[in-house]
Amino acid sequence: MSFPVGPPGGGATAGPGRPVQYERIAVFGGIYSNHRALRAAVEDAADRNVDALFCLGDLGAFGPSPDRVFPILREAGVQVIRGNYDDSIARGLDDCQCGYTDPRDNEYARLSYRYTFASTSLENRRRLQRLPEELRFRLGSLDVLACHGSPRRMNEFLWESTTPDHFLSKLARDHSCDVILGTHTGLHWAREFESSRWYVNVGALGRPANDGRTSVTYAVIEADGTSLDVEFVPVTYDHEELAREMREEQLPEEFVQTILTGWWTTCLEILPSKERARGRF
Amino acid sequence: MMLPVLGEVKGNETEAAVTAPLSALDELWFQVSGTVCNLRCTHCFISCSPENHSFWFMEREQVRDALEASVPIGVKEYYFTGGEPFMNREIEGILEDALQYGPTTVLTNATIMPERRAHRLAKLRDASRHSLELRVSLDGITREMNDAIRGEGAFDRCMAGVETLVAQDFLPIITCMRSWPEEETDRMLAGFRKLLLSVGYDRPRLKILPPLLIGEEAKRTRGYADTERITHEMLEGYDLDQLLCSRARLVTADGIYACPILLGVPSARMAGSLHEAVRAPAPLTHSACFTCYMSGAICSNMPAGGGEGH
């Protein structure tokens, strides 16, 4: 079950059945309407000899003109799952339910959500509704579960500093997989939490990783026997042009600054202290 | 040993049980300093004080056993509370142990936070890949407002503690019980930001809690009304994950409780061991469960579901 049109070979399966096997894949995290970074990532991945492209959801939010990411995903044959933002937009919820205590964060979240909702065509909203919540496939001999937040909850944050190994083992056990792929936090990391069992947060294409760099990140993942090679690929793109578009769409200047500086400026209270301390704000 | 100092529990706790099953043991709490505290706050829901020895300190060994038992269960994070956790002489060793297992949060009043302790905590933090969170209780934006609740001198000592922690690059979560009308919350949050900036904390993390109308708070304001109870009807269509007891248990020196609020409540004592305590559903018959029901798991660092960022 792939996003609008399937990739050659039928794609991974969202339900029971024989899972498709790959050897080397490219996985994108949240796009947040950053169509420029998405296009750059698709072009970059084309040179990396991968069998399939995946996106782990959150197509909209934050950036300009959400409809622009859809044709890029379709043309590249990217297999997409649904993120929490997609879920809210598809179901027409009032807002993204961020629940921040900082009134400033709440206001930005509301603005961004309303803009994304109003700018996503009905046709694309329906596409979001049809996206599966997870995909299962094989990478070499490993069973992979691709999800947005965690295998048990679409909006669960798995930060590097707050996700112990034994908790990942429980998730892998409960959901019968060797490898969990996720995004949602926007910060990439990977860990072999027990022998031949991996968690990979593929990062996000939508905004930089709060590290003062304007590049964004995706993951190229390759099976190597029962091991996994994970490469986090930095993607440079015309971020200044994206910033110009965001201003044209009257999106919050704080969001624009994140694109231009590589530092997160809003919605910071979701970060655990270790991750927060690495940022500027 | 049951806690005699808790606010009165109204109604019949044995009536047809309203319960919450444990969906997953994500949070393991430790009553690491029992009910012993260096302060006597007038809003304390478990009436902690220097003299309240209803629950005693946990020993490092006891904590270590529970940490070890939490591994096969797949616990996600650890919380240490009291009383005042830093009254426990073994606390630094306990935190060192906990940080090897997972992310660790300490709920403290920060009034006994000399520089050398903050420095040692920073070393523990830096040596671990897991986050060490310090949640500091401060109940007002002025000396008068805070000390009316937390006692004379508490404001100055707490602010000194925050300053010491910030100097060690901690980003404490400042926690405050809402003792003002709800519509004033934005103004209060702004007041906290300004206050914390004055001790060099320029990106404060703030958490406002609703009052729990038990223990000392029931005397300070009011207790729960008889109608403020969770009923079977109220649970229809309700997301049980909002309740802390569906995701947490509290380990004490004397058994396992459903949650940190219900310390000492006989019906909330689940078992003697963690292994047994994860099997039984938690009773929702206590009046304080009503606040958790209305406000969502207020004790966690993050709301249930972790919020919905993007």
User: Averaged over A176-204, what is the pLDDT?
Assistant: 98
Q: What is the pLDDT of residue A5?
A: 37
Partners of A170 on chain B (C-beta within 8 Å) are 24, 73-74
Q: What is the pLDDT of residue A15?
A: 57
Say yes or no to pLDDT of B6 above 80: no
Domain ranges in chain A are 21-275
Partners of B210 on chain A (C-beta within 8 Å) are none
Whether residues B75 and A167 touch (CB distance < 8 A) is answered with yes
Is A156 in contact with B306 (CB distance < 8 Å)? Answer: yes
Q: What is the pLDDT of residue A97?
A: 52
Which residue in B245, B264, B288 sits closest to B11, CA to CA? B288
State whether CATH 3.60.21.10 applies to domain A21-275.
yes
Q: What is the pLDDT of residue A80?
A: 98
Phi, psi values for residue B268, rounded to 5°: -95, 0
- CB contact, 8 Å: B306 with chain A? yes
Partners of B130 on chain A (C-beta within 8 Å) are 161-162, 164, 274
Percent of chain A past pLDDT 90, that is, above it, reads 83
Give contacts of B 13-72 with A, CB under 8 A: 24, 26, 70-72
Q: What is the pLDDT of residue B249?
A: 98
Q: What is the pLDDT of residues A22-37, one digit of tens each?
A: 999 999 999 999 999 9
The amino acid that residue A154 corresponds to is: M
Which of the pair, A24 or A94, is modelled with greater confidence?
A24
A157-171, A239-253, B14-28, B255-269, range with the lowest pLDDT: B14-28
Say yes or no to pLDDT of B123 above 60: yes
| Shortest Cα distance, chain A CAs vs residue B250, angstroms | 18
Is B19 in contact with B279 (CB distance < 8 Å)? Answer: no
Burial class (CB in 10 A: 0-12, 13-18, 19+), A273: buried
Any idea how long chain B is? 310
Whether residues B171 and A152 touch (CB distance < 8 A) is answered with no
Q: How do strand B269-271 and strand A197-201 relate by DSSP bridges?
A: unpaired
The amino acid that residue A240 corresponds to is: E
- CB contact, 8 Å: B77 with chain A? yes
Position B303 confidence tier, pLDDT thresholds 50, 70, 90: low
CB-nearest partner of B131 from A84, A166, A273: A273
Q: What is the pLDDT of residue B304?
A: 56
User: Averaged over A173-186, what is the pLDDT?
Assistant: 97
Average pLDDT, chain B: 91
User: Averaged over A253-268, what is the pLDDT?
Assistant: 95
A29-43, A249-263, B2-16, B76-90, range with the lowest pLDDT: B2-16
Q: What is the pLDDT of residue B56?
A: 97
Say yes or no to pLDDT of A94 above 90: no
Percent of chain B past pLDDT 70, that is, above it, reads 92
- Measured CA to CA, the distance from residue B51 to residue A36 in angstroms comes to 64
**Chain A interface test: which of B76, B175, B310 (most A C-beta within 10 Å):** B310
CA distances in angstroms from B216 to A95, A250, B180, B211, listed in the order given: 38, 50, 17, 11
Q: What is the pLDDT of residues B206-230, one digit of tens each?
A: 999 888 899 999 988 999 998 899 9
Nearest CA in chain A to B310: A184
Say yes or no to pLDDT of A87 above 50: yes
B14-18, B62-66, B98-102, B118-122, range with the lowest pLDDT: B14-18
Residue-range domains of chain B with CATH: 24-306 (3.20.20.70)
Phi, psi values for residue A48, rounded to 5°: -115, 15
Which residue in B21, B59, B13, B55 sits closest to B35, CA to CA? B55
Which residue in B24, B27, B29, B292 sits closest to A153, CA to CA? B24
- Measured CA to CA, the distance from residue B50 to residue B36 in angstroms comes to 5
Average pLDDT, chain A: 92
User: Averaged over A117-125, what is the pLDDT?
Assistant: 97
- CB contact, 8 Å: B310 with chain A? yes
Q: What is the pLDDT of residue A16?
A: 60
Percent of chain B past pLDDT 90, that is, above it, reads 83
Say yes or no to pLDDT of B149 above 60: yes
Which residue in A25, A2, A26 sits closest to A13, CA to CA? A2
